[in-house]
A and B are shown apart, each in its own frame.
Chain A
Amino acid sequence: MNHGFLIAAVIFFPLLGGLVGRMAGFHAGLARLLAATGAVLGGLAGALLSGDILWHGSRTVVTWPWFGTGYTLTLAVDPLSAFFLLPVSILTAMAAIYGAQYLGFHHHTGPAGVGAAGAASGVAGRGMVDPANVGLFASLLQTGMVLVLLAHDGLGFLFSWEVMSMAAFFLIALDDANAENRSAAWTYLLATHIGSAFLVLFFLFLGQRAGGLTFAELARATLSERAQALLFLAALVGFGAKAGFMPLHVWLPDAHPAAPSHLSAVMSGVMIKTGIYGLLRALTVLGAPPVWWGWALVVIGVVSGIMGMVFALAERDVKRLLAYSSVENIGIIAIGLGLGLCGRATAQPAMAVAGFAGSLLHVLNHAMFKGLLFLGAGTLAVTTGTRELDRLGGLFRRMPATAGACLAGVVAIGGLPPLNGFLSEFLIYVAAFQGLLGGQGFAWLPSCLAIGGLALIGGLAAACFAKVYGIAFLGEPRTQGAAEAAPPPALMSFAMITLAMLCGGLAVVVPVAVPGLAPVLSVLVPIDGQTLLLELLRGGALLRGVLGVAILLVLLVGFLAAVRRRLLAGREIGQTPTWDCGYAAPTPRMSYTGSSFTQPLNDLFEPLRAGTVDRPALSGLFPAPGRLATHPADSFVGRLYTPLFTGVETLCQRLRWVQAGRLQVYVLYIAVTLLVLLGWNLW
């Protein structure tokens, strides 16, 4: 297959679709169609390219000299790029198909309160949001991500990184009539540029040592231990800000609700993974890693995973909750990377291979189920008019296809067998246990931390998504909006069902296809191909065992369902409220809410959160009516960033007098500066 053509297609199809779609902005439907077509064609080309490279374990390089500038852009697809290109292609295509109808959705405004304001911001096609702009920036985001994965020189990488980051900024700021969205966009811009600053440092410093900026040249740089450590830290902050490592995650929960849902899916499913890709790419050029890099990533991963879930449990806004869950999953990926690095540094190939393979697979898996869940959240927002979990309910019977797809999503994201989320987490567990078995000295410490952390994260995630699914889809509708919800149109359902089937499909394919990861892993774990393949085969055998048990479980569930059906056959099935202690007027609003469902866990983690609760003062035998309100908050924002930025602002306010507002004074500043410099130079 012609790789040059595919590379051009994967870059230019989305771009072309977005630009032509923008020009066709006079007709909203046409604009959406063109943008979606470009994105889907680009995604198709990307999937083909990625599949071909991964299948053959080959590598393609395209150089593009920019005449007159002395700069040559190097684009290359190697197995590592190709592996990340796969989820990017699939998810952007699915999101584009979904978006073609989602953007045209007209819905009634939900009831007042957080829900209404929140729903409005998450739904495109209202207010100032022009669908043609959505298509344009979505295509720029897609092209930017693809270029990030393909660029194989520092300058091209930084440029692509910026294109991707800025496209995401405009997508977050689309509905800028809403103050929350503006604030989210600024937070994101600040976070992403702090990250970019570190990346510029990283590439310039390394490039100076290496005498060139292409990745091949960077890898040849000779680095002292100190330089290596500093570069690793720069990469960790720079890429971690994009990936959402704690405490650099604060932009995520604000940004994802602000963007249209199908693009939240893209951002959360794949854009933040470019941070992981960048980190892996940095590891390939930094030489042999010391063991503390692995420890650092394990600690970051455990903190991100646990804290992400602690915040997610308390959230009521579905999209914010999903954003925190992305932080948690990035944490799991980081744990895998950390264990892989530990294994590599301590020469334990089994641990290294399982750790890296687990975290790579989790990248792929998370893209599928998180993309699916964001599309599901978007569907709920537009069909019910609210994103607030506690206002939903009873949607299973109203939109069975969406409910079925989302069920697959929550099972997968909760890390439960038989779906794909369990498999990648299982491989990471395998890596941790390998570390326990084979290490010397303190090598057991990160493994123990990882096992304990993963177990806690898994439990919390299962609880959290039981809450999401139970509250949204089961029971009775709590509000008018939820009661009147209708199933989404065909393309939206198609995208969600396809992703759900991919979650299931991956669970079957992965145990068999794990040895196919060998070319990807060979750049990360420099051991001989034989050992690598052997370890992967062992991992695959374990996963096939898991798959077998999972299939048995599915059969058992199917059998039990059949038994239940049989037992109920011929009986009358009615519906009635649960026993309510004789209360005369029960309503669905009195059923369990998400907040009450997770209250025990929330109380347990209270010291870690910064949430507040307004409790009514109840006294006497017949107390007056009262209201209870809980306000979930991010303790990193409340305890770290707000004091920090308030302090900076106070300092800056003290310099306000400098800005006098008179032209003359400003020119005076310039003149005095110049004269002082002149005099100082000539003295």
Chain B
Amino acid sequence: MNLLLEGLLVLIVLTNLLMLGSSRLGVYIRAGALQGVGLAFLFFTGEGGWPEISITGLALVTMIVKGLVFPMLLFRTIRQAGVRREVEPYVGFTASLLIGVAAWGFATWVGGRLPLPGIIRSDLLVPTAMFTIFTGLFLIIARRNAITQVLGYLVLENGVFTFGVALETSTPFIVELGILLDIFVAVFVMVITLFQINREIEEIHMDTSRLSTLRD
């Protein structure tokens, strides 16, 4: 039993549930940031004491990017757009929470059956990773607001990241770094695009359902 590891995993699960049940964009961004920082700490839960220098560096960069840079970018965007709440989601907040619980059950089932290389340090690790991925996908599917979409994408990537931690012996460092860079660029582009779209079409209030008029 690794108390720090299990505690961090519970934190990640709780932030997922928080995002599923909340309507305020500020809460989403803060919960996402918290989740990111929690992820970074996962690197320090290994058995062999202090991790090597490259992993430490990766953890620090993760912390800065997910805990500081993304929240700042996203807060700036919602300030400029003047949007605070997720309005009329496709799936209501209570229903989302219930689905979240079901997803947790499915994730546990998957975690028990998924054949993985190497030894997994905690029984909770794989279910948490799966649950985070499911949450991210669900947020993208069930919400209208563009900021929530970006958050959903981030959460999805956090799940993939957690998997990477679970498989740390078999995932090369360069892959982790690649994922991080990938997310960074993606969020950067998304935020800029959102800003531009919002400036061009003033009245849409970041409602992505309006974008369906652009289909051919």
A residues whose Cβ falls under 8 Å from a Cβ of B: 659-665, 667-668, 671, 678-679, 682
Distance between Cα atoms of A665 and B149 in the complex (Å) = 13
A84 to chain B, nearest CB (A): 43
Whether A663 pairs with B110 at a CB distance below 8 angstroms is no
Contact of A664 among B113, B114, B142, B215 (CB under 8 A): B142
Distance between Cα atoms of A660 and B214 in the complex (Å) = 11
Residues on A with C-beta less than 8 A from B144 are 664
Whether B113 pairs with A682 at a CB distance below 8 angstroms is yes
Instruction: Report, nearest first, the 3 A-B pairs whose CB atoms are least far apart.
Output: A661-B215, A661-B212, A682-B113
* Proximity bits, B109-129, A CB within 8 Å = 1, else 0: 110011000000000000000
Residues on A with C-beta less than 8 A from B213 are 661
Whether B212 pairs with A668 at a CB distance below 8 angstroms is no
Whether B137 pairs with A664 at a CB distance below 8 angstroms is no
Residue of B nearest to A671 (CB): B137
Contact of B137 among A660, A661, A667 (CB under 8 A): A667
Distance between Cα atoms of A44 and B93 in the complex (Å) = 75
Distance between Cα atoms of A209 and B143 in the complex (Å) = 53
Distance between Cα atoms of A663 and B140 in the complex (Å) = 8
Which of A659, A660, A671, A678 gathers most chain B CB within 10 Å? A671
Distance between Cα atoms of A192 and B151 in the complex (Å) = 44
Residues on B with C-beta less than 8 A from A667 are 137, 140-141
B133 to chain A, nearest CB (A): 9
A678 to chain B, nearest CB (A): 7
A671 to chain B, nearest CB (A): 4
Which of A660, A664, A668 gathers most chain B CB within 10 Å? A664
Known: A667-B137, A668-B141, A671-B137. A662 touches B209 (CB 8 A): yes
A663 to chain B, nearest CB (A): 6
Residue B3 at the chain A interface, CB threshold 8 Å: no
Distance between Cα atoms of A137 and B175 in the complex (Å) = 40
Known: A678-B110, A682-B110, A682-B113. A664 touches B214 (CB 8 A): no
Distance between Cα atoms of A59 and B140 in the complex (Å) = 62
Distance between Cα atoms of A667 and B138 in the complex (Å) = 9
Whether A662 pairs with B208 at a CB distance below 8 angstroms is yes
A619 to chain B, nearest CB (A): 50
* Proximity bits, B153-186, A CB within 8 Å = 1, else 0: 0000000000000000000000000000000000
* Proximity bits, B177-216, A CB within 8 Å = 1, else 0: 0000000000000000000000000000000110111110
A658 to chain B, nearest CB (A): 12
Q: Number of B residues contacting the other chain (C-beta, 8 Å)? A: 20
B101 to chain A, nearest CB (A): 16
B26 to chain A, nearest CB (A): 22
Whether A682 pairs with B114 at a CB distance below 8 angstroms is yes
Whether A664 pairs with B140 at a CB distance below 8 angstroms is yes
Residue of A nearest to B214 (CB): A661
Whether A663 pairs with B214 at a CB distance below 8 angstroms is no
Residue of B nearest to A662 (CB): B212
Interface of B is mostly: helix
Which of A659, A667, A679, A682 gathers most chain B CB within 10 Å? A667
Contact of B212 among A660, A671, A678, A679 (CB under 8 A): A660
Some 18 contacts from A to B, beta carbons below 8 A apart, are A659-B215, A661-B211, A661-B213, A661-B214, A662-B208, A662-B209, A662-B212, A663-B140, A663-B149, A663-B208, A664-B90, A664-B140, A664-B143, A667-B141, A671-B137, A682-B110, A682-B113, A682-B114
Residues on A with C-beta less than 8 A from B211 are 661-663
Distance between Cα atoms of A679 and B130 in the complex (Å) = 13
Residues on A with C-beta less than 8 A from B113 are 682
Interface of A is mostly: helix
Residue of A nearest to B149 (CB): A663
Residue of B nearest to A667 (CB): B140
Distance between Cα atoms of A251 and B167 in the complex (Å) = 54
Residues on B with C-beta less than 8 A from A665 are 141
B150 to chain A, nearest CB (A): 12
| Additional 13 contacts, C-beta under 8 A, given A664-B144, A682-B114 | A659-B215, A660-B215, A661-B211, A661-B213, A662-B212, A663-B140, A664-B90, A664-B140, A664-B142, A664-B208, A665-B141, A667-B141, A682-B110
Distance between Cα atoms of A662 and B109 in the complex (Å) = 31
Distance between Cα atoms of A678 and B144 in the complex (Å) = 27
Residue of A nearest to B137 (CB): A671
Residue of A nearest to B114 (CB): A682
Whether B110 pairs with A671 at a CB distance below 8 angstroms is no
Distance between Cα atoms of A665 and B208 in the complex (Å) = 12
Residues on B with C-beta less than 8 A from A661 are 211-215
Complex interface residues of chain B between 42 and 64 (CB less than 8 A to chain A): none
Residues on A with C-beta less than 8 A from B114 are 682
Complex interface residues of chain B between 70 and 126 (CB less than 8 A to chain A): 90, 109-110, 113-114
A484 to chain B, nearest CB (A): 46
Residue of A nearest to B153 (CB): A667
Residues on A with C-beta less than 8 A from B149 are 663
Which of B114, B144, B208, B212 gathers most chain A CB within 10 Å? B212
A74 to chain B, nearest CB (A): 35
Residues on B with C-beta less than 8 A from A660 are 212, 215
Distance between Cα atoms of A661 and B211 in the complex (Å) = 8
Known: A663-B149, A678-B110. A671 touches B214 (CB 8 A): no
B99 to chain A, nearest CB (A): 12
Distance between Cα atoms of A664 and B88 in the complex (Å) = 14
Whether A664 pairs with B141 at a CB distance below 8 angstroms is yes
Residue of A nearest to B113 (CB): A682
Distance between Cα atoms of A682 and B116 in the complex (Å) = 12
B213 to chain A, nearest CB (A): 8
Residues on B with C-beta less than 8 A from A668 are 141
Distance between Cα atoms of A230 and B175 in the complex (Å) = 44
A652 to chain B, nearest CB (A): 13
B140 to chain A, nearest CB (A): 5
Distance between Cα atoms of A664 and B208 in the complex (Å) = 9
Distance between Cα atoms of A678 and B111 in the complex (Å) = 11
Distance between Cα atoms of A147 and B167 in the complex (Å) = 47
Residues on B with C-beta less than 8 A from A664 are 90, 140-144, 208
Residue of B nearest to A674 (CB): B137
Distance between Cα atoms of A660 and B212 in the complex (Å) = 7
Distance between Cα atoms of A667 and B152 in the complex (Å) = 11
Distance between Cα atoms of A667 and B139 in the complex (Å) = 10
Distance between Cα atoms of A667 and B113 in the complex (Å) = 25
Residue of A nearest to B146 (CB): A663
B136 to chain A, nearest CB (A): 10
Residue of A nearest to B90 (CB): A664
Distance between Cα atoms of A69 and B140 in the complex (Å) = 39
A207 to chain B, nearest CB (A): 33
A669 to chain B, nearest CB (A): 10
Residues on A with C-beta less than 8 A from B90 are 664
Residue of B nearest to A668 (CB): B141
Distance between Cα atoms of A668 and B212 in the complex (Å) = 15
Distance between Cα atoms of A678 and B110 in the complex (Å) = 8
Residues on A with C-beta less than 8 A from B215 are 659-661
Distance between Cα atoms of A619 and B113 in the complex (Å) = 87
A660 to chain B, nearest CB (A): 7
A653 to chain B, nearest CB (A): 13
Distance between Cα atoms of A90 and B197 in the complex (Å) = 56
Distance between Cα atoms of A679 and B137 in the complex (Å) = 16
Distance between Cα atoms of A383 and B144 in the complex (Å) = 62
Residue of B nearest to A660 (CB): B212
A621 to chain B, nearest CB (A): 58
Distance between Cα atoms of A182 and B211 in the complex (Å) = 29
Distance between Cα atoms of A660 and B208 in the complex (Å) = 13
Residues on B with C-beta less than 8 A from A659 are 215
Distance between Cα atoms of A667 and B150 in the complex (Å) = 13
B207 to chain A, nearest CB (A): 11
Distance between Cα atoms of A662 and B211 in the complex (Å) = 7
Residues on A with C-beta less than 8 A from B137 are 667, 671
B113 to chain A, nearest CB (A): 4
B165 to chain A, nearest CB (A): 20
